[in-house]
Amino acid sequence: MKKLIEIKHLDIGMFLEAEVVREEREGEEQRFVVPLNAIQAGSSTKRARLTGNMHERIERDGGLMVSSPAYIDRFRELGYTTVSIDTDKGKDLPETIKPLTDPNRPAPPPGRLVHFDEEIERATEARAQTTDTLKTALEDVASGRGVDATALAGASEVITESILRNMDAMVSLTRIKAHDAYTAVHCMNVCTLVVAMANGQKLNRSILNMITTASLLHDVGKTRVPLEILNKPGRFEPHELQEMRKHASYSGDIMREEGGFPEEAIAIATQHHEMMNGSGYPLGLKGDQIHPYARMTAVADVYDALTAKRVYKPGMPMYQALLRIIKNRGTEFDDDTVEGFIKVLGLYPVGSLVEMNTKEQAIVVEPNPLDSRKPKVALLTMPNQKPRAVPLVASLIKRSEAEGREITKVLDPENFDVDVEEIMKEVKERGEATERRRR
């Protein structure tokens, strides 16, 4: 049985799933061992080089038996945090330790290493931690202290890892908005969406980490905007708008002053309000002049700002915000970036209130990476519009359960007196209770 485990649980006698990668360097073929389904942390993209005939055994067996502590140390040194073992070929985990994904379930969907419900708790924790770290970082900058780069790097790492295990979990949490600490929560949301988009491009880990930190800090320049402007409800006067718009350049300035940020990271922050057609700010850059990762930040930023609930405006329903972005693809937003964004969010983002062809109302509770039109939903009403005593969870991709149900309309929860978060919580708790009964 194959199990995804944390590297700290890798032990002598376990069989590590791995493959051999060959590379030509200066005319000589070199061979490296690369663990399967593994996640590598940090900026390390180094691999363990193979000598002798070890590659033959790995290729024949689909991996290698961990026979000495040196192996474990080596993989840890290379920054692997998650590896896959085969318990039919070697020792199993001790009973007290759970693998990252339940081996008795069908494999997670393509591109996901663990299931959505297996990651959601870790993602929630990671999000809370990072938002706190970010709040502190913003306060530090505002009061003239330096940013704690180590804390920030640690937080970036935790987010990236969760997204690499199952991006849908962390992305689904971006629906959560907060009245207080708006900037920190907004930065957290934008960062999640940008990293999830970048993850689709199969970038190496050091670039992914750079994008995470830069997108987390994209609005750090707001700490230099006078508070009476920053917190002003409603419309800005022209001179206030001018001041507010300076925050993008300030973000770049702060990162330069702090030091240690590469030019690419500074570009991501400085250019996050630039639009493809030149209508953005601060420089009115156009097309290729805008860094590709800044184009991602621009899309994520607008989406999160539109859907945010503020004192002076209600949040726009997610689907509507997505449509607004789609409408402006090719003009304000980069075409390919919008394409990637739809893939990340799914057509009906988690937390959307929808109506089915059966006239039942439902809330999207889990995306479906195989077909974004058919997510998992919690049915709130019956076809006659009467509320159900408890929400009924139905996976629209499983025909037997779905009974031909399809989503036909997206509704605005504000108009229907539906507390989305309360229902999501109830569905989760009921799910856990069912899970306990099954065991």
Interface residues toward Fe ion, by CB under 5 A: 219
Beta strand ranges found along 294-385 (DSSP E): 353-356, 361-366, 376-381
Distance of CA 42 to CAs 21, 76, 158, 201, 209, Å?
Answer: 21, 11, 10, 18, 7
Q: How many CA atoms lie within 13 A of 247 on its CB side?
A: 21
Residue showing tokens 């994520």: 300
**Shortest approach of Fe ion to residue 130 CB, angstroms?**
18
Smaller CB separation from Fe ion, 168 or 219 = 219
Q: Which residue is nearest to Fe ion (CB)?
A: 219
Exposure of 17 by Cβ count < 10 A (0-12 exposed, 13-18 middle, 19+ buried)?
Answer: buried
Distance CA 5, CA 70 (A): 19
**Shortest approach of Fe ion to residue 341 CB, angstroms?**
17
Smaller CB separation from Fe ion, 219 or 332 = 219
Smaller CB separation from Fe ion, 170 or 294 = 294
Q: Are 280 and 288 in contact (CB under 8 A)?
A: no
Q: Are 35 and 16 in contact (CB under 8 A)?
A: yes
Distance CA 17, CA 34 (A): 9
Smaller CB separation from Fe ion, 219 or 360 = 219
Smaller CB separation from Fe ion, 107 or 142 = 142
**Shortest approach of Fe ion to residue 219 CB, angstroms?**
5
Tokens of 257: 């002053």
**Shortest approach of Fe ion to residue 221 CB, angstroms?**
8
**Shortest approach of Fe ion to residue 252 CB, angstroms?**
12
DSSP 10-57: --TT-EEEEEEEEEEETTEEEEEEEETT-EE-TT----EEP-TTHHHH
**Shortest approach of Fe ion to residue 391 CB, angstroms?**
37
Q: Are 164 and 171 in contact (CB under 8 A)?
A: no
Within 10 angstroms of residue 341's Cβ, the number of other Cβ atoms is: 24
Smaller CB separation from Fe ion, 300 or 393 = 300
**Shortest approach of Fe ion to residue 187 CB, angstroms?**
9
Smaller CB separation from Fe ion, 75 or 250 = 250
